[in-house]
Amino acid sequence: MAKTFDELVKRTTSRRTRERAAMRTKELLRELLLSEVRKLAGKSQRQLAAKLGIKQPSLSKLEGQSDMQISTLRRIVTALGGELDVIARFPDDAVRIKQFDLRSPRKRRPAYAELHLV
């Protein structure tokens, strides 16, 4: 009788190994290309392009770019049901850049004000 892959893994690996593999899977899923995020959301290029009001070849081009405007990336992420946070990481801290945050109203703050650490 044939065994499923899950049954085989369960029989041949320790619980600790399976837990480490699950943690590594979560880590890898945190670093995805835009096209992978779209696929994970269950959308085709055609579906997402229609939602954005653009043509499928235009979306394909956007997904292949390594540089784009934050507003464009936000529109794509929002169309997929997500929210975009812009976070700058420094050696000692990480800071959310609120200038690009549409969830809270923008207020001008003095340059010496405390940073919002993430």
The answer on 89 and 76 residing in a single domain is: no
Are both 58 and 74 inside the same structural domain?
yes
What per-residue confidence (pLDDT) applies to 118? 55
Residues 42 and 62 grouped into a single domain = yes
Which residues constitute the domain of residue 94? 85-118
Residue from 92, 94, 73, 97 nearest 84 by CA: 73
pLDDT for the residue numbered 65? 93
Whether the pTM exceeds 0.85: the reply is: no
Task: Decide if 68 is inside a domain.
Answer: yes
**What is d(CA 100, CA 21) in angstroms, rounded to the nearest whole number?**
35
Query: Any idea what the CATH number is for the domain that residue 40 is in?
Result: 1.10.260.40
pLDDT at position 25 is 75
Domain shared by 44 and 74, yes or no: yes
pLDDT given for residue 112 in this prediction: 45
Residues 78 and 98 placed together within one structural domain of the fold: no
Residues 61 and 95 in one domain: no
Residues with pLDDT less than 50, the chain: 111-113
Distance (Å, whole) CA 40 – CA 48: 12
Residue 34 near residue 27 (C-beta atoms within 8 A): no
Q: How many domains does the chain have?
A: 2
Structure tokens at 83: 């929210």
